[in-house]
Chains A and B, each alone.
Chain A
Amino acid sequence: MGSNNQAAMAAKKKLAADFLRKGVITAVLSGMFYGTYTAFMTYAMSMGIWSTWYGENSGLSAFAVMFLLSALGAAATDTCSAGWALGIATFKGKIGDFFRCIKTKPGMVMVGAAVIGGPIASTCYVVGLQQAGSLVVPISALCPAIGAILGRILFKQELNARMMLGIFICLVASFMIGLTGLGDDAPANLFLGLFFGLLAAFGWGLEGCVAGYGTSMIDPEIGITIRQVTSSLSNLIILVPLFSMISGVNPVSMIAATFTDATSLIWFVVAGFGSYFGFMLWYKGNAMCGAALGMSCNGMFSFWGPFFCWLILGIMFGRSGWTIPPIAWAAAVIMVIGIFTIAMNPLDLFKKQSEGA
């Protein structure tokens, strides 16, 4: 009986450890897919019709170039991502549950989170990327820090001195990244871009907070389908027409041009695949190992974002300007340390190791 108990205890420990390991791998992978989605979306937005739109003779106003094209880029990526999500949900036999979930209370929570994180934050992120380059990625990776503060305000979640220290470390890292742009080759609208990156971080922090309620009940693959469908529809139906109206251009012709330009569309399809997995694994990782650890592992996209931009755009496609200044690499690492400090006490890692030994 005693040996039976011991065997059960060992098997139970292994089950829990496997689950946590799977959760951490899932959350880290989410950050990596986030990095690839960023790189391929940025690449798509430089191909075909987009090179004309961003060119000097596009006839588009400065407002249209900054906001409309960013919203359109986010809409194209989200729509392709929604297509992937619906296809994968159908293949896995979960499409019925998608329709059953969307009209329930947790489903509506997910829709609300999608509107905040989708059209609002994604567009800010793209505006930031277009104005300040990949330096916006680590700035937007402040979302776990912002999520912790919002969690405290909205849901009375824990925010102790250690977490506040982590937030401070993240802010120092952001400041270091801001400084890198002050050289001669700084993007013209660096600070404006960083500001929009910060807005994206706010949106995603809020999304992470709010969606936490939904993902503990909804299957992550259904949750992400709700997110991407909501996000793509609200982008296409609200944001793009609104910015088109302000810019004095026809939204239908802009959307039609986006989805018929094969040269760029193929890369949006690839970006949409990365976006699907990035956000699905984010939700899943948060649900499996708790929002704090999940979001901190995902927050490593502050490294993966510039890394994949450099790898895909710089090395693979030979584009110049994607090399990351050394101080920004250092800041990205410091930000990861800050994010981990928010999520967990670093001393616990050593404690757990010695307990396991």
Chain B
Amino acid sequence: MKPLNYAILKHFTNGKESCVEDVMAALKDQYSTFKAFNKADILNALMTAEANGLLEEARFDLDDAGEVRVYFRAHEEGMATINKYIKD
């Protein structure tokens, strides 16, 4: 089992764009019991990864509740760095 932050980053090496809800849906089986497995903390981790050049913003829209929903993706360089440091 990987640390939660590693699993979040590794999720993006599939090359697809994802929002917080997508990440949570993909990781819930293994990580739903983690205290940090919540929307705010995961969004923080994604925005931190974006600030460090590992991820980039793909697009954004408003969800049904009228809250902004940002989709992120890993660009080629980010994906290479994630795969170099975080092994399967």
Q: Which residues of A contact B (CB under 8 A)?
A: 4, 7-8, 11-12, 14-15, 19, 23, 92-94, 97, 100-101, 104-106, 212-213, 215-219, 222, 287-290
B51 near A92 with CB under 8 A, answer no
B70 near A219 with CB under 8 A, answer no
Please tell me the size bucket of the interface on B. Answer: 20 to 34
Supposing A12-B60, A93-B36 touch, asked if A219 and B68 sit within 8 A by C-beta, the answer is no
Supposing A218-B5, A219-B5 touch, asked if A287 and B85 sit within 8 A by C-beta, the answer is no
> Which secondary structure dominates chain B's binding surface?
mixed
By a CB distance below 8 angstroms, the chain B residues around A219 are 3-5, 36, 45
Supposing A218-B5, A287-B52 touch, asked if A19 and B47 sit within 8 A by C-beta, the answer is yes
B68 near A11 with CB under 8 A, answer yes
By a CB distance below 8 angstroms, the chain A residues around B82 are 217
B60 near A100 with CB under 8 A, answer no
A217 near B62 with CB under 8 A, answer no
By a CB distance below 8 angstroms, the chain A residues around B32 are none
B68: nearest chain-A partner, CB-CB? A11
By a CB distance below 8 angstroms, the chain A residues around B61 are 8
Supposing A8-B60, A11-B62, A12-B68 touch, asked if A101 and B52 sit within 8 A by C-beta, the answer is no
How many residue pairs between the two chains, A and B, have CB atoms under 8 Å in the bound complex?
81
* Bitwise interface map of B from 55 to 88 toward A, beta carbon under 8 Å scored 1, else 0: 0000011100011101000000000001011110
Chain A CB count within 10 A is highest, among B6, B34, B35, B70, for B6
B70 near A12 with CB under 8 A, answer yes
CB distance from A165 to the nearest CB of B (A): 25
A92 near B36 with CB under 8 A, answer yes
Taken together as a complex, chains A and B put the C-alpha atoms of A83 and B62 apart, in Å, by 43
By a CB distance below 8 angstroms, the chain A residues around B36 are 92-94, 219
Q: Which residues of B contact A (CB under 8 A)?
A: 1-6, 9, 34-36, 44-45, 47-49, 51-54, 60-62, 66-68, 70, 82, 84-87
By a CB distance below 8 angstroms, the chain A residues around B1 are 100
Taking a contact as CB atoms closer than 8 A, the residue among B51, B53, B60, B86 that contacts A106 in the complex is: B86
Chain B CB count within 10 A is highest, among A23, A92, A219, for A219
A223: nearest chain-B partner, CB-CB? B5
B48 near A216 with CB under 8 A, answer yes
A217 near B6 with CB under 8 A, answer yes
CB distance from B48 to the nearest CB of A (A): 5
Q: Which 6 pairs between the two chains have the least Cβ-Cβ distance?
A: A216-B52, A11-B68, A93-B35, A97-B3, A100-B3, A8-B62
Taken together as a complex, chains A and B put the C-alpha atoms of A7 and B18 apart, in Å, by 21
CB distance from A302 to the nearest CB of B (A): 25
B51 near A287 with CB under 8 A, answer yes
CB distance from B8 to the nearest CB of A (A): 10
By a CB distance below 8 angstroms, the chain A residues around B4 are 97, 219
Chain A CB count within 10 A is highest, among B1, B4, B67, for B4
